[in-house]
């Protein structure tokens, strides 16, 4: 069964604040496809995600400490298309509602099924790598999607083609990458820090193929991958 494929998407970012919304750049959303959205906000929570196509987004999970980088995953399976689709991140109005990042990713061949990954809380991390606290179970027809943050001043993510994971989209200090699960197994995702004095975070999710969602269960085994926040991803 075919692994879901990343097709297109958009990115958005805002420095400073406070803000209550942040928009990703417009992209052509094709009817019938799922949209996965990675959100980041500093010291505040992302409360909802909407888009101009009218899709409904459900929160898959988050990591939030109240004093560092908050990351969330949102998934829309309603499959509404739009020629100029804009995905919007909504946050609360607290004084820390700043430094927003949003990345929207459309996938073909994916279903509403997913294996939710795990994430460490954002933290002042002085070691490398910074790894998810538990494994992400996936089948060999699923795609692993990681979002990662290395919140250092002035450093934008590289768009070079990394090994193991493919860097798909990047905003400043924030990016998403994908990896076809070569074998069924248990995955942990890590961000390799470029700085040891600022907040780092990582989060992963596995999207099931459309065929897998009809009856194939997740399997077990073991692989570990590391993400290098400068844009190079290493095993």
E strand or H helix that includes residue 98: strand 98-108
Return the SS3 of 119: coil
The dihedral through the CA atoms of 112, 137, 4, 1 has a sign that is negative
At which residue do the structure tokens 């019938």 appear? 32
Q: Identify whether 234 is part of a domain.
A: no
68: tokens are 């560092």
- The tens digit of pLDDT for each residue in 51-87 reads 999 999 999 888 765 555 678 899 999 999 999 999 9
Q: Identify whether 151 is part of a domain.
A: yes
pTM above threshold 0.85:
no
Q: Identify whether 107 is part of a domain.
A: yes
R_g (Cα) of the chain, nearest Å: 16
In angstroms, the CA 144 to CA 114 distance is 10
Instruction: Answer yes or no: are the C-beta atoms of 216 and 138 closer than 8 Å.
Output: no
Q: Identify whether 235 is part of a domain.
A: no
How many domains, in total, are found in the chain? Answer: 1
Q: Identify whether 86 is part of a domain.
A: yes
Strands of 151-194 (E only): list them.
Answer: 166-171, 174-180, 185-192
Q: Identify whether 233 is part of a domain.
A: no
pLDDT on residue 88: 97
Average pLDDT, the chain: 74
- Domain hosting 82: range is 5-228
Q: Identify whether 122 is part of a domain.
A: yes
* 156 pLDDT above the threshold of 70: no
Cis previous bond, 129, omega within 30: yes
CA distances from 156 to 76, 143, 149, 174, 194 (A): 28, 25, 11, 8, 11
For range 179-185, the mean pLDDT: 77
- Pick from 113, 89, 97: nearest CA to 44: 97
pLDDT on residue 170: 73
Q: Identify whether 56 is part of a domain.
A: yes
């Amino acid at each position: 069964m075919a692994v879901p494929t990343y097709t297109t998407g958009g990115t958005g970012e805002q420095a400073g604040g406070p803000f209550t919304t942040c928009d990703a750049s417009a992209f052509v959303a094709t009817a019938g496809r799922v949209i996965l959205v990675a959100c980041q906000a500093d010291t505040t929570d992302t409360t909802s995600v909407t888009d101009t196509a009218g899709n409904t987004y459900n929160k898959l999970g988050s990591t939030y400490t109240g004093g560092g980088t908050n990351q969330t995953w949102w998934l829309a399976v309603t499959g509404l298309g739009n020629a100029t689709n804009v995905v919007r991140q909504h946050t609360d109005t607290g004084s820390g509602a700043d430094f927003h990042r949003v990345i929207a990713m459309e996938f073909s061949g994916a279903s509403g099924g997913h294996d939710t990954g795990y994430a460490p809380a954002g933290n002042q991390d002085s070691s490398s790598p910074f790894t998810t606290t538990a494994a992400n179970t996936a089948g060999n027809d699923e795609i692993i999607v990681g979002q990662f943050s290395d919140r250092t001043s002035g450093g934008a993510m590289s768009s070079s083609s990394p090994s193991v994971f493919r860097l798909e989209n990047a905003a400043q200090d924030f990016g998403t990458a994908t990896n076809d699960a070569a074998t069924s197994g248990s995955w942990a995702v890590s961000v390799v820090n470029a700085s040891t004095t600022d907040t780092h975070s990582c989060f992963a999710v596995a999207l099931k193929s459309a065929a897998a969602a009809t009856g194939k269960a997740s399997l077990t085994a073991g692989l570990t991958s590391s993400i290098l926040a400068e844009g190079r991803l290493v095993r």
